[in-house]
Structure 1
Amino acid sequence: MDLVQLDIKGISYSQTQTGAYALLLSEIGGSRQLPIVIGAFEAQSIAIALEKDIKPPRPLTHDLFKTFSDSFDITIQKVIIHKLVDGIFYASLICKKGKNEKTIDARTSDAIALALRFKAPIFTYKNILDKAGIQLKTSTSSSQTQSPKSKVETEIKSSFDLKSLSLKDLNKLLEDAVQNEEYEKATQIRDEISKRS
């Protein structure tokens, strides 16, 4: 299976789930994005790793794991997001000590927090990106203006009842959510579309 390398595009606060965040990974050399819902602790750990100037007074769990691994000459070679089941992503850490290589199961958010600390690349399989990726479309028409919200957009804002919407409406909402950087909403819409295919 073909591996696709991903890069971290950003983290945004979830508008619909208290205490949750949406981590957005983008395809290197492509236009697809992979939104993943993560917890507050993992979001903080990833954000601290991204901001090189921030040093917590005491090591976070992922920092402790990095120090521990360095002490025993263990490195993380890469992270692979290898499975998607019912909207939940599964990841593996590919670790190496000397000539020995070991694959370790990990939560995707933890795997990414560790990948940042080890400067390890993040990958997923092409079929996962095909299934769960969000295509960013750039507007080429200069005649586009802000139109009043459609009945479907109003309905989604008030109740967010995705099951009652058509596939065409869901795809439109998905595009709008990505354009507005509402990645957590985009994740829910994407999952509903996946259930129907």
Structure 2
Amino acid sequence: MSLIKLTIKGISYSQTQSGAYALVLSEMEGTRTLPIIIGAFEAQSIAIALEKEIRPPRPLTHDLFKTFSDRFSITIKEVIIHKLVDGVFFSSLVCEREGVEETIDTRTSDAIAIAVRFQAPIYTYENILDKAGIYLKIEEELAINETTDLDNNTIDIEDFESNIVKSNFSDLSVPELNEQLDKAVEDENYELAAKIRDEISKRS
């Protein structure tokens, strides 16, 4: 069965599950997207790895994994989302060290957080996209207005690119924004930090 390459499209706060996020993956050559429910910590970890410009004061768990792997010459070749059972996605990390390849079972959220740090490709199979994927409607604002039902929990995916953190910074000055940025990094709220940094960049 052939593999389908995916890319990270965005992260959206889940409106139906408190404290959860929907990680939206999109096939590279097609219009289907794959929404996966993940926890807040994993969402922050993925977001900070994607941003790259924001560095946490101390290494996150997935950063530690990357440092450990680099120290012992372990590379992550790819991540494969290979199974979907009762709304739960199962994934594997394909690792290599000194020419020896190993496959490790892992949670999908952890696998993707690690893949981003290694710049490793993410794949899934056609049957999983057929079962859980949704089609991206090409509209003027390229917004997703579809829903998918995983394990009887409906995930609303709307304007995910702007919904990572809902905050209004229009009333704050740049020095105040910088203070908020420092506090967000100190609190390890990296999604909020990314939003504040973007607001500061707009005013530069």
TM-score (norm 2): 0.70
| 1:76/1:120 contact within 8 Å kept | yes
Cross-structure match for 1:170? none
**Aligned match of 2:126:** 126
The Cα of 1:138 is off from its aligned counterpart by 3.1
Cα deviation digits, residues 123-167 of structure 1 (max 9, x gap) = 001111111110123369xxxxxxxxxxxxxxxxxxxxxxxxxxx
Tell me if 1:179 matches 2:140: no
Task: Specify the structure having the higher radius of gyration (Cα).
Answer: 1
Structure 1 residue matching 2:5: 3-state secondary structure = strand
CA distance in 2, matches of 1:49, 1:109: 13
State the distance in 2 between where 1:95 and 1:115 align. 11
The letter for the 2-side match of 1:179 is: N
Distance 1:139 1:9, change over 3 A: closer
CA distance, structure 2, for counterparts of residue 37 and residue 64 of structure 1: 23
Contact 1:66–1:117 at 8 Å: present in 2 too?
Answer: yes
Matching of residues 137-176 of structure 1 within 5 Å: 137-138=137-138
Partner Cα distance (2:110, 2:139) in 1 = 35
CA contact (8 A) 2:49 2:116 kept: yes
- In the alignment, structure 2 segments of 5+ residues that lack a partner are 153-204
Counterpart code for 2:129: L
Letter in 2 for 1:72: F
Percent of aligned pairs sharing the same letter: 71
Corresponding residue number in structure 2 for 1:136? 136
- Render the CA deviation track for 1:13-60: whole Å, top value 9, x for unaligned: 111111100000000010000000000000000000010101001000
Aligned residues of 2:25 and 2:35 also touching (Cα < 8 A): yes
Are the equivalent residues in 1 in contact too, given 2:137–2:144 (CA < 8 A)? no
Paired position in structure 2 for 1:64: 64
Question: How many pairs are equivalent?
Answer: 151
Runs of 4+ in 1 over 2 A off after TM superposition: 137-140
Give the aligned partner of residue 40 of structure 2.
40
Aligned-pair CA distance for 1:2: 1.1
Does residue 99 of the first structure (1) align with residue 95 of the second (2)?
no
Structure 1 residue 191 displacement after superposition: 4.9
For the residues of structure 2 that align with 1:98 and 1:81, how far apart are their CA atoms? Answer: 25
Q: Partner of 1:179: helix, strand, or coil? A: coil
Specify the SS of the correspondent of 1:109. Answer: helix
CA RMSD of aligned residues (A): 1.9
User: 1: distance between equivalents of 2:58 and 2:138?
Assistant: 43
Deviation at residue 74 of structure 1 after TM alignment: 0.2
Q: Deviations over 1:48-92 (max 9, x none)?
A: 001010100100000000000000000100000000000000000
What's the offset of the Cα at 1:95? 0.1
